[in-house]
């Protein structure tokens, strides 16, 4: 049968993490728990930063934006997967699939750029401490976040629009729990050379350039730290440790997804790597930042105490 354009087909089929019916309740419980932990953890970070005036600094401004993006990121995939398990369905509409691709690329790009901006903030704070408040002013911080949104939006829009030119056979089974762009391109029955070229070029440019920026920032930071006293070294390293942990987790999991899809045709390895960067990374970020940060822990404690005091007391 000749391939038909996907707009004439009602839906894709998301095969999920496992096709075994016995595994579905376990998968549902685990991913629901991880989703709630991620949303609650990142929401607490945002509320703690907003409620404490001492945390109204560039570093925590970027952190609150990162937490917001992580909430949106995980909300792009997990609710649909949970809904399909609950409804015992595998379908996702054409519009829903394109939308999922768009928002996934948007929030992955934002994560990438925000981590780069945070590395630059640490670079200025440690290498140019006397000029920090002048350089990292409110206007620059807002501009950096705005530019991150604009570039990520344009990239995700481009990738989503060129998917519309692809045609598919009547029934498309995606061996995943969400619409993953690279797999969707591989399943197309029409020529997908342009899509693959744009995907690889964008991944190299938007992934490689920020990574080089982060690497350069930390090379400068390390060289500056080596010339200060031991007490100041510990303080400087402690301010960078959380960010370095999140950067390592983000890039290692994204690289794992890319390598698993390039080196093997096993869908299982690709699913495992995707779970790491779409679910585990957003879930761990608030723990990494709060456990190693005294200011965040103090702000969280104050916020929870304030919330407990304001909670209405019911009598009888």
Beta carbons of 85 and 172 less than 8 angstroms apart? no
Whether 309 maps to a domain, the answer reads: no
| Whether pLDDT at 2 is above 80 | no
Per residue in 217-274, pLDDT (tens digit) is 999 988 888 877 666 667 667 778 888 888 888 888 887 776 666 555 556 667 777 8
The mean pLDDT of 289-306, rounded to a whole number, is 82
Whether the pTM exceeds 0.85: the reply is yes
- Most confident of the ranges 69-73, 85-89, 255-259, 292-296: 69-73
Whether 298 maps to a domain, the answer reads: no
Per residue in 24-64, pLDDT (tens digit) is 999 999 999 999 999 999 999 999 999 988 899 999 999 99
CA pair distance 217, 257, nearest whole angstrom: 25
Note down the domain range covering 164: 4-293
Helix (H) or strand (E) holding 291: helix 281-291
Per residue in 102-119, pLDDT (tens digit) is 999 999 999 999 999 999
Whether 304 maps to a domain, the answer reads: no
Rg of the chain (C-alpha set)? 22
Q: Where are the beta strands (DSSP E) in the chain?
A: 4-5, 11-14, 91-93, 167-168, 173-174
Whether 314 maps to a domain, the answer reads: no
Whether 316 maps to a domain, the answer reads: no
Whether 156 maps to a domain, the answer reads: yes
Whether 310 maps to a domain, the answer reads: no
- Tally of structural domains, the chain: 1
CATH number for the domain spanning 137: value is: 1.20.1070.10
- Most confident of the ranges 95-99, 179-183, 308-312: 95-99
Whether 302 maps to a domain, the answer reads: no
């Amino acid at each position: 049968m000749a391939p038909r354009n996907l707009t004439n087909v009602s839906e894709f089929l998301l095969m999920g993490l496992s096709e075994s019916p016995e595994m579905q309740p376990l998968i549902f419980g685990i991913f629901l728990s991880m989703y709630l932990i991620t949303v609650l953890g990142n929401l607490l970070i945002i509320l703690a930063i907003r409620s404490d005036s001492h945390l109204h600094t560039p570093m925590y401004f970027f952190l609150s934006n990162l937490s917001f993006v992580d909430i949106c990121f995980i909300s792009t995939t997990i609710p649909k997967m949970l809904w399909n398990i609950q409804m015992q369905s595998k379908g996702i509409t054409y519009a829903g699939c394109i939308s999922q691709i768009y928002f996934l690329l948007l929030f992955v790009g934002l994560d990438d750029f925000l981590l780069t901006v945070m590395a630059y903030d640490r670079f200025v704070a440690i290498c140019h401490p006397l000029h920090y408040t002048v350089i990292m002013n409110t206007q620059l911080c807002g501009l950096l976040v705005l530019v991150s949104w604009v570039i990520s939006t344009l990239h995700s829009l481009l990738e989503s629009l060129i998917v519309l030119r692809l045609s598919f056979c009547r029934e498309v089974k995606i061996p995943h729990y969400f619409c993953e762009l690279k797999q969707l391109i591989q399943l197309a029955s029409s020529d997908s050379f342009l899509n693959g070229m744009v995907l690889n070029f964008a991944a190299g440019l938007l992934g490689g350039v920020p990574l080089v920026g982060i690497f350069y920032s930390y090379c400068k930071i390390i060289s500056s730290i080596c010339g200060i006293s031991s007490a100041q070294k510990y303080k400087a390293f402690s301010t960078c440790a959380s960010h370095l942990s999140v950067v390592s987790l983000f890039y290692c999991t994204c690289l794992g997804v890319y390598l698993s899809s390039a080196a093997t045709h096993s869908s299982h390895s690709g699913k495992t790597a995707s779970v790491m960067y779409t679910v585990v990374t957003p879930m761990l970020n608030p723990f990494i930042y709060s456990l190693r940060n005294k200011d965040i822990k103090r702000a969280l404690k104050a916020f929870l105490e304030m919330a407990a005091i304001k909670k209405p007391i019911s009598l009888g």
